[in-house]
């Protein structure tokens, strides 16, 4: 592990700067604990970059990102840019950044937090204990396959779902390795009863499974998986799937957690890993202090786990978040009218509570090491 971890910080627009600010404070607390240091270089992206430099991804931002150990992003987008052509809008900057970093494995955890069990539309006894990690292939499949077209004269449109063996192997290896570090179970999702691409996917994943005898592999059809995720989410550990299926299933499984503001993500496997909360720039609440910073803070934990090899420290952040929720602290998106013990807090206050509990966890860990 390098003593210095260089992070390009791209807070972006709307609530992006508010939530990444809290994530950075938490990462700085971790760096004091371990004696490493995070070097954050803040760069503009999205609408902020358009305002400052006329481009949603200025060359200096891209260069900094490519030369760092990890990129931590807030969110991009704002109503004032909605009339711009798609390639000039803030979102184009994020798409260009993702493409340049080259990550092909998108990781999306979906965790049922016990104190938030009433926030999910699913019953608490269904979600209790659920902890799923989606590994979605991000650079192939229908979204990128060619030929693609929409012939307005004939009224026929075409997209191509295509995967090579190599594309499946590289994302499968990542998923198996993650399963080895978790509960040793991998569910590979496809539609092999109908699609040749899925038959290749299933055969290749089965072949790669031989390299990971300590991981139990099961295959599910995507339609059945969509149902099992809602009926028996506890039965899943790592879910590996292709681009389109992963896009849909990871959003579906987000209902287990209960709020968009709680969801972290990472995109790994390329030149530099990219970490971003799942939510957007939320212009409706930007500047009001209502943004939930926990998705960004948990994204920071993913950065520690996947770019710095700091599993213990990542878990310390996740425990701190659990304990703050158990103590009843809620940002507005998490608050429920029928919960008398909850205390509604602002973005900064929520960050502060996590910071304090994290420091308690750190003190406790240091005291144990001193014994």
Residues that bind ligand NAD (CB under 6 A): 15, 19, 75-78, 91, 94, 260-261, 276, 279-285, 291-292, 295, 333
Q: To the nearest whole angstrom, how small is the minimum distance from the Cβ of residue 335 to ligand NAD? A: 11
Q: To the nearest whole angstrom, how small is the minimum distance from the Cβ of residue 292 to ligand NAD? A: 3
Whose tokens are 């295509």? That residue is: 162
- For ligand NAD, the closer of residues 77 and 103 by Cβ is 77
- For ligand NAD, the closer of residues 215 and 263 by Cβ is 263
- Strand pairing report for 131-137 and 37-42: unpaired
Q: To the nearest whole angstrom, how small is the minimum distance from the Cβ of residue 290 to ligand NAD? A: 6
CB 16 within 8 Å of CB 281: yes
Of 357, 300, 288, 295, nearest to 328 (Cα)? 357
- For ligand NAD, the closer of residues 175 and 285 by Cβ is 285
CB 80 within 8 Å of CB 100: no
Please state, in angstroms and as integers, the Cα–Cα distance from residue 32 to each residue in 36, 215, 309, 337, following that order. 7, 36, 16, 39
- For ligand NAD, the closer of residues 135 and 291 by Cβ is 291
**Sheet with strand 70-75: strands edge to edge:** 37-42, 4-12, 70-75, 273-275, 266-268, 105-111, 131-137, 238-241, 185-190, 216-221
Rg (CA), the chain: 21
- Residues designated as active site: 143, 191, 223, 247, 251
Q: To the nearest whole angstrom, how small is the minimum distance from the Cβ of residue 358 to ligand NAD? A: 19
- For ligand NAD, the closer of residues 258 and 261 by Cβ is 261
Task: Kindly report the backbone phi and psi dihedral angles of residue 128, in degrees, each rounded to the nearest multiple of 5, phi listed first.
Answer: -50, 125
Q: To the nearest whole angstrom, how small is the minimum distance from the Cβ of residue 264 to ligand NAD? A: 11
């Amino acid at each position: 592990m390098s003593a210095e971890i260089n992070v390009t910080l791209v807070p972006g627009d709307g609530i992006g700067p508010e939530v990444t600010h809290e994530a950075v404070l938490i990462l700085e607390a971790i760096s004091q604990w371990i004696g490493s240091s995070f070097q954050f270089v803040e760069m503009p992206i999205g609408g902020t970059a358009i305002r400052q430099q006329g481009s949603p991804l200025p060359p200096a931002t891209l260069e900094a990102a490519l030369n760092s150990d990890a990129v931590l992003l807030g969110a991009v987008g704002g109503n004032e840019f909605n009339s711009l052509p798609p390639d000039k809008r803030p979102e184009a900057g994020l798409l260009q950044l993702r493409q340049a970093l080259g990550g092909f494995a998108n990781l999306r955890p979906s965790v049922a937090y016990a104190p938030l069990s009433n926030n999910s539309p699913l019953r608490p006894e269904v979600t209790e204990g659920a902890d799923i990690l989606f590994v979605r292939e991000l650079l192939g499949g229908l979204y990128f396959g060619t030929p693609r077209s929409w012939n307005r004269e004939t009224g026929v449109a075409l997209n191509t779902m295509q995967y090579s063996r190599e594309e499946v192997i590289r994302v499968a290896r990542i998923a198996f390795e993650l399963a080895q570090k978790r509960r040793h179970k991998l569910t590979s999702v496809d539609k092999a009863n109908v699609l040749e691409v899925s038959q290749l996917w299933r055969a290749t994943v089965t072949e790669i499974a031989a390299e990971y005898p300590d991981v139990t592999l099961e295959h599910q059809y995507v339609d059945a998986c969509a149902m099992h995720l809602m009926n028996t989410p506890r039965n899943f550990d790592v879910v590996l799937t292709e681009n389109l299926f992963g896009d849909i299933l990871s959003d579906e499984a987000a209902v287990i957690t209960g709020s968009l503001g709680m969801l972290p993500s990472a995109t790994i496997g390329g030149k530099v890993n990219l970490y971003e909360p799942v939510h957007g720039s939320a212009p409706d609440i930007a500047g009001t202090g209502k943004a939930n910073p926990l998705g960004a803070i948990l994204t920071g934990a993913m950065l520690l786990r996947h770019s710095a090899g700091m599993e213990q420290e990542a878990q310390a952040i996740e425990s701190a978040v659990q304990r703050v929720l158990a103590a009843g602290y809620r940002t507005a998106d998490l608050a429920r009218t029928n919960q008398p013990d909850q205390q509604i807090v602002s973005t900064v206050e929520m960050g502060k509570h996590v910071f304090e509990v994290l420091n308690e966890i750190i003190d406790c860990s240091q005291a144990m090491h001193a014994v």
